[in-house]
């Protein structure tokens, strides 16, 4: 019984995450959530405490899913940079039309809560910092493997990667630029290697 409840909870969080990612926290009504997750408002509040509680779990789950996706590409690659490039290509090209939003959910959250809900804003900042730390560790590994310049810190590489990736995600939200994806991804990784 506990496994069934856990599975259903995870499924509710995933479905809610997709909705929040697409519409944002403030534009997602309780009715939207109720219809998406097929739960009554009382059940949502009983399970998650509030709309904010469900959003918090959704944002945490999104971060876990992004790390798991990267890990999958890393396990299929001989190099850290090869795995990261496969991840970027997947998000920008293969899964572009499958994502609820072209903007990373963490980036969206940090923009949406800057002046409003401090606890959700702080959570977004915390998860962003954790993700940046995760990327820093990957880039330190790439340095150890001889893939990158050892004079640049893993954190500097992680920051550069995030800026490039976020910019490309935003750029490829425009119509008629799909043919530029591979050349621009190639340029991104040439720039990373040249730092």
Over residues 167-177, the pLDDT tens digits come to 999 898 888 89
Residue 1 pLDDT > 80: no
Contact 176, 110 (CB under 8 A): no
Interhelix angle 154-171/181-194, rounded to 10 degrees, is: 160
| Burial class of residue 42, CB neighbours in 10 A (0-12, 13-18, 19+) | exposed
pLDDT at 32 over 80: yes
Q: Residue 112 and residue 5: Cα distance in Å, rounded?
A: 31
Lowest mean pLDDT among 47-51, 92-96, 151-155: 92-96
- Report the pLDDT value the prediction gives residue 2, as an integer from 0 to 100: 47
Containing structural domain, residue 56: 2-194
**H-helix segments, 49-98:** 51-75, 80-89
* Average pLDDT of the residues in 138-154: 97
Range name among 14-28, 85-99, 109-123, 153-167 with the lowest pLDDT average: 109-123
Proportion of the chain above pLDDT 90, given as a percent: 69
pLDDT at 101: 74
Helices 80-89, 51-75: inter-axial angle, 10-degree rounding:
130
Distance CA 117, CA 112 (A): 9
Q: Is the pLDDT higher at 100 or at 6? A: 100
Mean pLDDT of all residues in 28-50: 90
Q: Where are the alpha helices (DSSP H) in the chain?
A: 2-23, 30-37, 41-48, 51-75, 80-89, 105-112, 118-144, 154-171, 181-194
Check residue 116 and give its pLDDT.
65
Interatomic CA distance for residues 139 and 145, integer angstroms: 10
Is the confidence at residue 35, as pLDDT, over 90?
yes
What whole-number percentage of the chain has pLDDT above 70?
93
Q: Which residues make Cβ contacts (< 8 Å) with residue 63, sequence separation at least 6?
A: 106, 127, 130, 131
CATH number, domain containing residue 125: 1.10.357.10
pLDDT at 117 over 90: no
Domain count, the chain: 1
Half-sphere exposure of 1 (CA within 13 A, CB side): 0
CA-closest candidate to residue 109, choices 149, 71, 56: 56
* 94 DSSP assignment: I
């Amino acid at each position: 019984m506990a496994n069934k409840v856990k599975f259903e909870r995870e499924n509710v969080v995933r479905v809610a995450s997709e909705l929040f990612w697409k519409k944002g926290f403030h534009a997602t009504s309780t009715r939207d959530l109720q219809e998406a997750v097929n739960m009554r408002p009382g059940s949502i509040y009983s399970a998650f405490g509030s709309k904010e509680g469900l959003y918090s779990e959704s944002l945490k789950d999104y971060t876990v899913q992004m790390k798991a996706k990267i890990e999958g590409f890393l396990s299929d690659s001989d190099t850290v940079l090869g795995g990261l490039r496969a991840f970027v290509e997947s998000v920008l090209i293969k899964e572009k039309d499958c994502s609820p939003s072209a903007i990373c959910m963490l980036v969206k959250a940090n923009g949406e809560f800057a002046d409003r809900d401090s606890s959700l804003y702080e959570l977004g900042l915390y998860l962003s910092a954790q993700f940046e730390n995760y990327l820093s560790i990957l880039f330190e590994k790439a340095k150890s493997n001889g893939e990158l310049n050892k004079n640049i810190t893993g954190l500097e590489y992680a920051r550069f990667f995030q800026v490039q990736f976020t910019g490309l995600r935003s750029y490829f939200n425009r119509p008629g630029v799909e043919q530029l994806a591979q050349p621009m991804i190639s340029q991104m990784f040439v720039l990373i290697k040249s730092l």
